[in-house]
Structure 1
Amino acid sequence: MSWKALIWGLTCTIFALILKLLSVVIIGGRTTRKRAVGFFHPYTNDGGGGERVLWCAVKAIQDERSDLDCLVYTGDHDASPESLIARAIDRFGVQLLYPPKVVHLHKRKWIEEATYPRFTMIGQSFGSVYLSWEALSKFTPQYYFDTSGYAFTYPIARMFGCKVICYTHYPTISLDMLSRVRGRRSLYNNDALIAQSILLSQCKAIYYLFFSWMYGIVGSCADLAMVNSSWTQSHIENLWGIPDRIKRVYPPCDTSGLQALPLERPVKSPTIISVAQFRPEKAHTLQLEAFSVAIRKLDADTPRPKLQFVGSCRNKADEERLQNLKNLAIELKVEEDVEFYKNLMYRELVRLLGSAVVGIHSMIDEHFGICVVEYMAAGAIPIAHNSAGPKMDIVLEEDGQQTGFLAQNVEEYADAILKVLSMPETERLKMAAAARRRAGRFSEQRFYEDFKSAIRPILSNSSQ
């Protein structure tokens, strides 16, 4: 055993003893756990892939263990059992077996990005500790299930005597993030002012190292950690040091419904669709700039395409980003060719996907990329960022046939758009068919099977 592994083991053991002592002193040794699974998901209206995972996870638990109640900890004060079961079916096409119970949280501001202008990551993490304390004080379930990536809540759940399960979409911090800081590369999570300064970059690297150490400690408190991709699995195994408790479960994608759509698309007015929340890391600006470049490079005989942005807004900052995107379309003189759809119902999203020739996605280190799979299942050729989930798991050859394109910058995205638009229809149909077959590997049914297989041992081994 290496000295690093020995130190890590001793640290985790000491931490576990401290947790045990605190649970006796603070909780008083009382057993107040209910026969239930509590899903910690403070934002039940974000409309993203994480929310789809939440509802599919609730459905899987309801199907697997009907004797366990399912409840959701949410900071959305208008959420009710009836509204949530309706939202699951209307927004994601997920039919729950019965409405989940709801526990309302009133301290959600402590995990909001705006609360921490600086040291946002660690601020939100410690804020989640406070929020989870509120949640578990109101209702203590037998199983605490985190579906939003708040690993710092796991020790609190252990203190309350819960079994801790999580579905991790992406690590709060990764080795890639640390590498960018050390390399002084500016990005949405590394301010240009810091990237330009050697001293500030070194200070931030130390901060990241300290945070990754803490993240590893709290993450190791999970009894079962499900991860959504090969990229996420690699990082979580390195950070948390519990490879035997980590299971890869690809997220649920609506491949069956989308695969029923015809592969043929309108030739005269091709559409390019972009499905993503209006968050900074989704890099919508890059997509718009690439579309503008592609428009300028179009051959005279190539049909002029339309770009459709489809996404949800979580807060005022997202609303501002959406407005800035509309303003940029005007500056680039493509406003007549761009359409925006906010908080769209699922059936309307399916309608748009059924007409799209191209599906574009540009987040760097996208942990998985549910929407990329949905593009492929619907028959739209995907153009995704050449990193993480799309690169390692999704946009790969199927039976020797190319299934889409990977790109990294404006020019590469523009070139990929032009390639699809100028592709002969027979070639496009061949690629779209291969992409659809590939998407079948990430079906909702596959998620249910793998999810139940992962949770079955921990549910059966716990005291009844």
Structure 2
Amino acid sequence: MMMNWILFWCLITLPLATILLFASKILSRRRNKKRAVGFFHPYTNDGGGGERVLWCAVKAIQEENPDLDSVIFTGDHDASSQSLMSRATDRFGVHLLYPPKVVHLNKRKWIEETTYPHFTMIGQSLGSVYLSWEALSKFTPLYYFDTSGYAFTYPIARLFGCKVICYTHYPTISLDMISRVRQRTSMYNNDALIAKSMWLSRCKIIYYTVFIWMYGMVGSCAHLVMVNSSWTLSHIEKLWRIPERIKRVYPPCDTSGLQALPLERSVETPKIISVAQFRPEKAHGLQLEAFSAAIKKLDEDLPRPKLQFVGSCRNKSDEERLQNLKEKAVQLNIYEDVEFHKNLMYRDLVRLLGGAVAGIHSMIDEHFGISVVEFMAAGAIPIAHNSAGPKMDIVLDEDGQQTGFLAQSIEEYGDAILKILRMPEAERLKIAAASRRRANRFSERRFYDDLKAAIRPVICHSS
């Protein structure tokens, strides 16, 4: 009988003791918060627009609040204060005022796509909770700034007593995604097997519905939400339901440096550039097929163009995707007309942009499209997907003048390429000039000003 009572007592007290232990640690952390802004960005080597936002946000806060330390939570173990500062300069042309401190994370595998062959979205989201717990246990800042879209970490940050700020590039899930599952449309985020099955599609709708509810709950924990476009703003307002805390802050685009490039381009071999990470949603295959279709219709008296792919590879899957693109170019008999540039330095990217007559971008529902703005600032006429950011914010007329082309199908992309190749030089220069003026709306300077204005009430009114 005595042993039973002891066992019963242990079953009750041990979990309680564990909870109290964690609670005491959290309370201790809450009392010992450092005067710092902790940037939660587990991948500081992805090379995309999200990383540019990170470094520009760090610089903006260093300028606005020099008394606050900048701390980067990263899973890249080779990252150091100096290497990250150099990377910001070399890769993105962003000059930080002083090196950020670094907190290394050992549990990044819990947010990696390969860890969750199924139910990837919920797996990565719950994995981010674990990763943020590790981050905040190692260092608890006064302000927690998520620049990677891990909304499930916000309740954890608030539990540790942090003010939560986020810059959301796109919603983890959107109402459009549920709509596509209902319509049983096969895409990179809706497997063909599920799209073909009514029963599996219904199960996925239930899964998405539950996830949307959870996503709305955790997102509403943020004290300040900055979004990068009108499209993202619309979705986040519907999902998180905190419109008074949401601000649209267009992402930083290097318009000033690129606008120094001359608008005149060599016509001997017209260059068409594509700038995007080698990820499935970027639809590089469509670009190859559209380019091939354009070449087949090319007038005999016109010079043969060249397509230049510029992008970064985050992992083995991206490397395989790049190799598959090379093989596809061979199959389409255009390999000699295509160049592949991986993980370029910023200065080399600028050089290529300065030689391109057009820039092509084909992601469906691209939340914003920094590379589209970079095309425009550099004088390369954009050909972008007719949806989301490019459609709603970027490729719009400027003073009544066309600034680029919007397309959806392979045929539409191919026709847009042909129009630019056949265009008289005077007309091309007219569109390129209007496109460059349009790009002024998305400058780094505007990002710094808008971000500082957005964070001022949160930082100034915090203890």
Q: TM-score range by the shorter chain?
A: over 0.9
Give, in whole Å, the separation in 1 of the partners of 2:442 and 2:22.
Answer: 40
State the one-letter code of the partner of 1:136: L
What whole-Å deviation, never above 9, does each CA across 1:337-382 have from its counterpart, x for those lacking one?
0000000000000000000001000000000000000000000000
Give, in whole Å, the separation in 2 of the partners of 1:22 and 1:308.
Answer: 56
Structural mapping, 1:135-284, within 5 Å: 135-284=135-284
State the one-letter code of the partner of 2:284: H
Aligned to 2:71: 71
Aligned to 1:382: 382
Q: CA deviation at 1:201?
A: 0.6
Aligned to 1:99: 99
State the one-letter code of the partner of 1:27: I
Structural mapping, 1:245-394, within 5 Å: 245-394=245-394
Give, in whole Å, the separation in 1 of the partners of 2:402 and 2:270.
Answer: 21
What whole-Å deviation, never above 9, does each CA across 1:99-132 have from its counterpart, x for those lacking one?
0000000000000000000000000000000000
State the one-letter code of the partner of 2:326: K
Q: Do the aligned partners of 1:23 and 1:160 also contact (CA within 8 Å) in 2?
A: no
TM-score w.r.t. the length of structure 1 is: 0.94
Higher alpha-carbon deviation: 29-38 or 194-203 = 29-38
Bigger radius of gyration? 2
Q: CA deviation at 1:200?
A: 0.6
Give, in whole Å, the separation in 2 of the partners of 1:362 and 1:272.
Answer: 13
Give, in whole Å, the separation in 1 of the partners of 2:234 and 2:215.
Answer: 15
Alignment pair present for 1:27 and 2:11? no
Give, in whole Å, the separation in 1 of the partners of 2:94 and 2:347.
Answer: 12
Give, in whole Å, the separation in 2 of the partners of 1:200 and 1:22.
Answer: 43
Q: Which runs of 5+ in 2 are unaligned?
A: 1-19
Q: Do the aligned partners of 2:27 and 2:160 also contact (CA within 8 Å) in 1?
A: no
Aligned to 1:405: 405
What secondary structure is seen at the aligned counterpart in 2 of 1:27?
Answer: helix
State the one-letter code of the partner of 1:406: L
Give, in whole Å, the separation in 2 of the partners of 1:245 and 1:139.
Answer: 26
Q: Do the aligned partners of 1:22 and 1:159 also contact (CA within 8 Å) in 2?
A: no
The sequence identity of aligned pairs, in percent, is: 80
Give, in whole Å, the separation in 2 of the partners of 1:45 and 1:357.
Answer: 29
Dislocated runs of 4+, deviation >6 Å: none
Change (3 A) 1:74 1:324: same
What whole-Å deviation, never above 9, does each CA across 1:129-159 have from its counterpart, x for those lacking one?
0000000000000000000000000000000
Give, in whole Å, the separation in 2 of the partners of 1:379 and 1:73.
Answer: 36
Give, in whole Å, the separation in 2 of the partners of 1:310 and 1:335.
Answer: 15
Give, in whole Å, the separation in 1 of the partners of 2:288 and 2:250.
Answer: 29
Alignment pair present for 1:446 and 2:442? no
Aligned to 2:10: none
State the one-letter code of the partner of 2:147: T
Give, in whole Å, the separation in 1 of the partners of 2:396 and 2:22.
Answer: 48
Aligned to 1:15: none
What secondary structure is seen at the aligned counterpart in 1 of 2:406?
Answer: strand
Give, in whole Å, the separation in 2 of the partners of 1:83 and 1:113.
Answer: 26
Root-mean-square deviation (CA, aligned residues, Å) is 1.1
Give, in whole Å, the separation in 2 of the partners of 1:439 and 1:409.
Answer: 25
What whole-Å deviation, never above 9, does each CA across 1:236-255 have from its counterpart, x for those lacking one?
00000000000000000000
Give, in whole Å, the separation in 2 of the partners of 1:437 and 1:248.
Answer: 21
Give, in whole Å, the separation in 1 of the partners of 2:27 and 2:341.
Answer: 52
State the one-letter code of the partner of 1:160: F
Give, in whole Å, the separation in 2 of the partners of 1:119 and 1:401.
Answer: 46
Aligned to 1:43: 43
State the one-letter code of the partner of 1:159: L
Q: Which runs of 5+ in 1 are unaligned?
A: 1-20
State the one-letter code of the partner of 1:42: P
Q: CA deviation at 1:39?
A: 0.1
Give, in whole Å, the separation in 2 of the partners of 1:61 and 1:345.
Answer: 25
State the one-letter code of the partner of 1:394: I
Q: CA deviation at 1:28?
A: 3.7
State the one-letter code of the partner of 1:417: I
Q: CA deviation at 1:25?
A: 6.3
